[in-house]
Amino acid sequence: MPSVVAFEDVSFRYDGMWAVENVTFEVAEGAFVAVLGPNGGGKTTLAKLMVGLLRPTQGRVRVFGDDPARSARRIGYVPQVSTISPAFPITAGDLVTLGRAGGNGPRSWIGPRRGRDARKAVMAALASVEMDAFVDRPIRALSGGQRQRVLIARALVSMPDILVLDEPTASIDPAGKSCVIELLDRLAVHRTVILVSHDLAAAVPQATAVTCINRQVIHNPAPVLTEPMLELMYGVHRANCPMGTFIHDMARVLPMAGEHAPRQEPVNA
Amino acid sequence: MLEALAYPFMQKALLSVVLVSIACGIVGALVVVNRMTFLAGGVAHAGYGGVGLAFFIGWPVMTTATLFAVGAAILAALITLRERERLDVAVGLLWAGGMAFGVLLIDLTPGYNVDLMSYLFGSILAVGNDVLRTMAISVGALVAIAVVFYRPLLAVSVDREFARVRGVPVAAVHILLVATVALAVMTSVPAIGLILVIALLTIPAYLAEMTARSLAMLMVTAVLWALVFSLSGLALAYAFDLTSGAVIVATGVITLALAEGARFGVRRIRRCSTA
């Protein structure tokens, strides 16, 4: 499989502190990558480097062999739901239409085309997340889970080849979380998915590869956690782990290296 | 009351509040959804520096003050683009620095006694033809900006990060946004002044936000609310011989308090009926 995302010795510094350091890994086309790590470990920084929101302090990031900003039209980005004010006066349909914004030259200033084709694309994107019935509903009248689905539809409306999701199950109730997890399972069939989450139950059931980050990165192109990954993320060994239950839960949804247990069926938390 | 409309100064006052309502309604909608009220306040006070500069160098006051305020706003936009967390410092500098600069320049202007209060609180009944013409041109420019750049302004207002990922020129749109705030503020100065304009930028848009389903609808509804406050405030000011700018703002504040009270009451009743 050719790689669609490549980090080549990438480091990024915020205010003199290294958020990610000497990161090198590749994401294969069609993979479903779970990016795991503790809070403050650099997960969101990694996602932002991937979509071109941040530029590496050193090293380079390639998306489809090019600068992420130049591959913007092939990337669907779902930021954390909290980036949008729920009080903003906009309907679900109009919010999804903004997923067609941007482009090169004057198009970036004029905005997305409106018309029958645009409406069709918006309805198709909303239908793919089962939100087409809410097209004219203001976002303030939607639940957290429904709003998250609309944000995913906004990322899908431009038919991206890669979908990068940053904590899509954060700040939504368990029922909404379960719907989003099921949805991701379906979306991963047609594209590369990179899911950043601190929530193991949300991130790993569908994963075909795992990236663990805590300033540095260990990438495994198989859906298997290794002892070095645990040590990197939480500084613990499984054998003498003070968080035994936690590690047990982690291993239940994602096998540890050296274990021959078959991969678990997706868990819908 | 209607007989007052026979006076030319009243006709001009009426026309000026209509223009101010259009400017503040449209730009207020952008200010409220972008949570930029504090920045708008800074820009408004920076405009005072432009007033001082105009008197000092002897240029036309409104044009000079408008250019100065737009320049200061663009500078603030550039600073806050790179260091958004330092927005408070940038606005504080604009706010106090602009005022101080204006006062100093007027002090240094030889033999000139300026009625500074008219720039701070407006003098609606003294609006002349030249000022009206400048206001009309500014409002025309603001409407054109809102129509032509509606989509990028919406994209940046909803979600800056996503807009940047999609290739929308976020920095340029941010600068345009802050410059339109400066233009709207300076358009409103002759009628309601630098200080009271903040209320007309925020109260109508905040009330409109309660019901609007789109940014365009928010702009239109905010213009209508601003017209209600301006016209009723002007009428009350004429009837009771009060300062018109202050009455316009007081009308808005009282309406907002009543609307919030009604909203609170409805919520309480709903909660009690579901309990």
Q: Which of B137, B184, B141 is nearest to B23 (CA)?
A: B184
Is A160 in CB contact (< 8 Å) with chain B?
Answer: no
Ramachandran bin of A170, using left for φ above 0, alpha for ψ from -120 to 50, beta for the remaining angles: beta
pTM above 0.90, yes or no: no
Interface check A99 vs B, CB under 8 A: yes
User: Which two tokens mark A119?
Assistant: 């409406």
User: In chain B, what are the domains?
Assistant: 2-274 (1.10.3470.10)
CA distance A181 to A161: 19
Is the minimum CB–CB distance between A133 and chain B shorter than 8 Å? Answer: no
Taking contacts as CB-CB distances below 8 angstroms, the residues of chain A near B25 are none
Answer whether B50's CB lies under 8 Å from B66's CB: yes
Q: What is the mean pLDDT of residues B231-248?
A: 90
Token digits of residue A167: 């904590």
Report residue B38: phi and psi, to 5°. Answer: -65, -40
Structure tokens at A122: 């918006």
Quick one: tokens of B107? Answer: 């002090």
Q: Does the beta carbon of B154 lie under 8 angstroms from any beta carbon of chain A?
A: yes
Indicate yes or no: CB of B165 within 8 angstroms of CB of A51. Answer: yes
- A160 in helix, strand or coil? coil
Check CB contact of B71 with chain A, cutoff 8 Å. Answer: no
Which residues, numbered 163 to 202 in chain B, qualify as contacts with chain A under a Cβ-Cβ cut-off of 8 Å?
Answer: 163-169
pLDDT value of residue A228: 85
Q: What is the pLDDT of residue A264?
A: 38
Q: What is the pLDDT of residues B35-76, one digit of tens each?
A: 988 888 898 888 889 989 999 998 888 889 889 999 988 888
Query: And the tokens for A83?
Result: 């980036």
Q: Give me the residues paired with residue A90 across strands.
A: none
Residue B110 has pLDDT above 90, yes or no: no
Q: What residues contact residue B96 under an 8 Å CB cut-off, 6+ apart?
A: B45
Helix (H) or strand (E) segment spanning residue B17 = helix B8-33
Q: Mean pLDDT of all residues in chain B?
A: 89
Tell me how far apart the alpha carbons of residues A83 and A101 are, in angstroms, rounded to a whole number: 18
Alpha-carbon distance B41 to B47, whole Å? 10
Residue A245: predicted pLDDT:
46
pLDDT at residue B150, as a whole number: 94
ipTM of the complex: 0.84
Q: What is the mean pLDDT of the segment spanning B198-225?
A: 95
Cβ atoms of B210 and B264 within 8 Å: the answer is: no
Distance from CA of B149 to the nearest CA of A (A): 7
Give pLDDT tens digits for A194-205: 999 877 666 666
Q: Which of A2, A1, A14, A84 is nearest to A46 (CA)?
A: A14
Look at residues A254, A256, A248 and name the one whose alpha carbon lies nearest to residue A226: A256
Q: Which of A99-113, B70-84, B124-138 has the highest mean pLDDT?
A: B124-138
Domains in chain A, CATH or no CATH each: 3-104+113-253 (3.40.50.300)
Structure tokens at A255: 């096998």
Instruction: Flag if B158 and A88 touch (Cβ within 8 Å).
Output: yes
Q: What is the mean pLDDT of residues B27-34?
A: 96
> Rounded to 5 degrees, what are φ and ψ at A178?
-60, -40
> What is the DSSP secondary-structure string of A105-149?
TTHHHH-S--SHHHHHHHHHHHHHTT-GGGTTSBGGGS-HHHHHH
Q: Residue A101: which of B166, B213, B215 has the nearest Cβ? A: B166
Q: What is the pLDDT of residue A175?
A: 73
Question: Which candidate, A188, A166, A158, A181, places its Cα nearest to that of A28?
Answer: A188
Residues B200 and B229 sit within 8 Å (Cβ to Cβ): yes
The predicted pLDDT at position B200 comes to 93
Amino acid at position A23, single letter: V
User: In this predicted structure, what is the pLDDT of residue A65?
Assistant: 92
Percentage with pLDDT > 70 across chain B:
97
The dihedrals phi and psi of A243, each to the nearest 5 degrees, come to -110, 55
pLDDT in tens, B261-273: 998 899 888 888 8
Torsion (CA) A202, A207, A209, A212 in degrees, nearest 10: 10
* Burial A12-45, CB ≥16 within 10 A → b, else e: beeeeeebbbebebbbeebbbbbbbbeeebbbbb
Q: What is the side-by-side order of every strand in the sheet holding A3-14?
A: A17-28, A3-14, A58-63
Which portions of chain A are predicted below pLDDT 70? 1, 81-82, 102-114, 171, 200-205, 236-269
Write down the H helix ranges in A208-269: 227-234, 244-253
Minimal-distance CA residue of chain A relative to B205: A89
Say whether residue B117 is in contact with chain A using an 8 A CB cutoff.
no
pLDDT at B29 over 90: yes
Entry field: residues in chain A: 269
* A118/B174 Cα distance (integer angstroms): 26
Residue of A nearest to B83 (CA): A15
Best of A98, A157, A166 to disrupt the B interface (most B CBs within 10 Å) is: A98
Mean pLDDT, rounded, for B6-23: 92
Are A98 and B163 a contacting pair at CB < 8 A? yes
Alpha carbon distance B228, B231 (integer Å): 6
Closest CA relative to residue A163, chosen from A254, A35, A55: A35
Q: Is the distance from CB of B135 to CB of B19 less than 8 angstroms?
A: yes
Task: Give the strand pairing for A192-196 and A162-166.
Answer: parallel
The model's pLDDT over B154-180, given as tens digits with 9 standing for 90+, comes to 999 999 989 988 888 999 999 999 999
Edge-first strand order for the sheet with A209-214 is A75-78, A162-166, A192-196, A32-36, A209-214, A216-220
Beta bridge partners of A246: none
Q: How far apart are CA B250 and CA A140, in angstroms?
A: 30
Quote the CA–CA distance of B241 and B237 in Å, as a whole number. 5
Q: What is the pLDDT of residue A243?
A: 41
- The pLDDT of residue B6 is 86
User: Does residue A84 sit at the B interface (CB-CB below 8 Å)?
Assistant: yes
> What is the least distance, in Å, from the CA of B28 to any CA of chain A?
14
Residue of A nearest to B159 (CA): A84
**Can you state the angle between helices B8-33 and B129-148, rounded to 10 degrees?**
30
